Amino acid sequence: MADDTAPERDPMLFSAPPMAEQERMVEAMLFASAEPLSIAEMAGRMPHGSDAAEAVQHLRRRYAGRGVQVVRVGDRWAIRTAPDLGFLMQKDVTEERKLSRAAVETLAIIAYHQPVTRAEIEEIRGVSVSRGTVDQLLELEWIRFGRRKMTPGRPVTYVVTEGFLDHFGLESTRDLPGLRELRAAGLLDARSMPGRADTSDDDDAEDDDQGDMFEE
């Protein structure tokens, strides 16, 4: 016989919070996180039944046109200063050094041709790629190792990271500027195309003639 005296469960205890509250949760997480967060990471911290993806979109619309914005970085999300207000932060940025021309060209090739092997980078540039050039980009966490290529020797490939996208304010590599724009900015030129006469990175390492986009 059923126990009619058993207390009834409050359905509100097992329902998701109102969307406005979910939006506040997402806002708090993105504001406090030093790194962009994925939808799965945010959902894992929210009450059962919450829709982190929808909450992010609500928050993104609410911040549209404000001094800070909710931006997509790869498959993650972050709160960042509005692009047109970046000049206000310039005094807070310490510029230690610029990348060498070799590193700039190598980074651009990886971004546009990923996943790409060292041999393929050298073929495109027309020169050998020193280990130090690749190590510098790995240390900056702007590139990482991709899958090994299914060719003899199984060479490793390189791809750009979400840190690279975040640094340059890109949602994905589809937002990269065109090659013509890169050349206009001084990041690529005819010398970086196949058939270049140089045979090493030594001369490039001392060449600081490049745009500001790839400054560290």
Token readout for 77 is: 């999300």
If you search the block for the tokens 């894992």, which residue do you land on?
44
pLDDT at 186: 53
Domains of the chain: 11-91 (1.10.10.10), 101-206 (1.10.10.10)
Surface-to-core class of residue 98, CB atoms within 10 Å of its CB (0-12 exposed, 13-18 middle, 19+ buried): middle
Look at the alpha carbons of 91, 92, 96, 97 in this order and tell me if their dihedral is positive or negative.
negative
pLDDT at 37: 95
pLDDT at 213: 40
Calculate the CA dihedral of residues 88, 70, 29, 41 and round it to 10 degrees: -130
DSSP output for 86-108: GGGGGGG-----BPPHHHHHHHH
pLDDT along the chain (216 residues), means of 10: 50 74 95 93 94 96 93 92 82 61 88 91 88 89 90 90 84 76 55 39 40 39
pLDDT at 96: 54
Task: Judge contact between 25 and 50, C-beta under 8 A.
Answer: yes
Q: What angle do CA 33, 34, 38 make, to 5 degrees?
A: 60
Task: Judge contact between 205 and 100, C-beta under 8 A.
Answer: yes
Look at the alpha carbons of 179, 184, 186, 191 in this order and tell me if their dihedral is positive or negative.
positive
pLDDT at 13: 52
